[in-house]
Amino acid sequence: MRSMLHFMFLLCIATPVLGELEYRLQPRQIAVNTWLLEGSTEDFDRNNGGNIVNTAFILTTAGVVVIDTGPSKRYGEAMRRAIAAVTDKPVVKVLLTHHHPDHVLGNQAFREAPIAALPGTNRRLAEQGDAMAENMYRLVGDWMRGTELVLADESLEPGLLQVGEHRLRLLALSGHTGADLAILDETSGVLFAGDLVFYQRALTTPNSPGLDIWLADIDTLAGLPWRLLVPGHGPLASDDAPLLQMRDYLGWLDGVLGEAAASGADMNEVWRLPIPERFAAINLSRYELIRTVSHLYPTYEQRVLREPVP
């Protein structure tokens, strides 16, 4: 009995009490009628509850536009409270930038509003969403209690979306997941780049169709007339530093993977390759390099095998 009580005591102190699992979201106004909820640049764990993502909302004369809903039902509910602290207007549209779990598993809290995504995003969410939710349960535990997958109920096409007085330019890109929505609010000049842009946090590649495609997307974003850039992960920027960092980092990854494959290096060798000093400030660089090699290196190896022998 004593050993059982000791085990239960250890379990209690190791597991947060459900009442303490609260996302203390602080909406920060970054432009006229525009608020940012900024997450950490860490990886998912039971301390942060998966709050590693940037979400946002725009207050328009027609109501509130939400950009991504966060990693859990509990997060979505906290986001609703953050919005209510700013306005009593209803949420009239939810825009999902892509299908990864930290951006969409708060959808339950916004069921009464149209939830919109690119067709490819909803297709990937239907295919992978349940498995991603289960993985999030393993990673962050009780923060996910009650979270269920909710798909988008509207399909988006690239072009202009008018909501109240705000003109939202929707761009359908593909470098991060194959279906990536970027949103330029032409009224405020804020660019919501989703996970096409990571800043001061290493990028993730589980569904990327190719680093060359991602680099082309960065060029597209750089050509837009934005004034503020909200990355999917990392701090807000008023200059092109995030895009320069992304272009540099993607170019380095593409080059090092290509060179390693050409030399016949195996995956274990590539995992241990040195990371340039200029990327030292980018959080989780080694961890994400290992994951990227797992995701993408076989494609580089196959490319070498297909090259004609001189």
Q: Considering only 12-26, 82-96, 204-218, which range has the smallest mean pLDDT?
A: 12-26
At residue 169 the predicted structure's pLDDT band, cuts being 50, 70 and 90, is: very high
pLDDT digits (tens, 9 = 90+) for 60-105: 999 999 999 999 999 999 999 999 999 999 999 999 999 999 999 9
Calculate what percentage of the chain has a pLDDT beyond 90: 90
Across the range 158-186, mean pLDDT stands at 98
Chain mean pLDDT for the chain: 93
Q: Which residues contact 18 (CB under 8 A, 6 or more apart)?
A: 142, 145
> What residue segments make up the domains of the chain, in order of their start?
2-238
Residue 26 has pLDDT above 60, yes or no: yes
For residue 20, what pLDDT is reported?
79
The CATH number of the domain covering residues in 2-238: 3.60.15.10
For residue 1, what pLDDT is reported?
36
Contact call for residues 74 and 146 (beta carbons, < 8 A): yes
Residue 240 has pLDDT above 90, yes or no: yes
pLDDT digits (tens, 9 = 90+) for 114-144: 999 999 999 999 999 999 999 999 999 999 9
Residue 4 has pLDDT above 60, yes or no: no
Across the range 144-152, mean pLDDT stands at 96
At residue 280 the predicted structure's pLDDT band, cuts being 50, 70 and 90, is: confident
For residue 306, what pLDDT is reported?
82
pTM here is: 0.92
Task: Tell me which residue of 210, 209, 65 sits closest to 124, measured CA to CA.
Answer: 209
At residue 54 the predicted structure's pLDDT band, cuts being 50, 70 and 90, is: very high
At residue 11 the predicted structure's pLDDT band, cuts being 50, 70 and 90, is: very low
For residue 55, what pLDDT is reported?
98
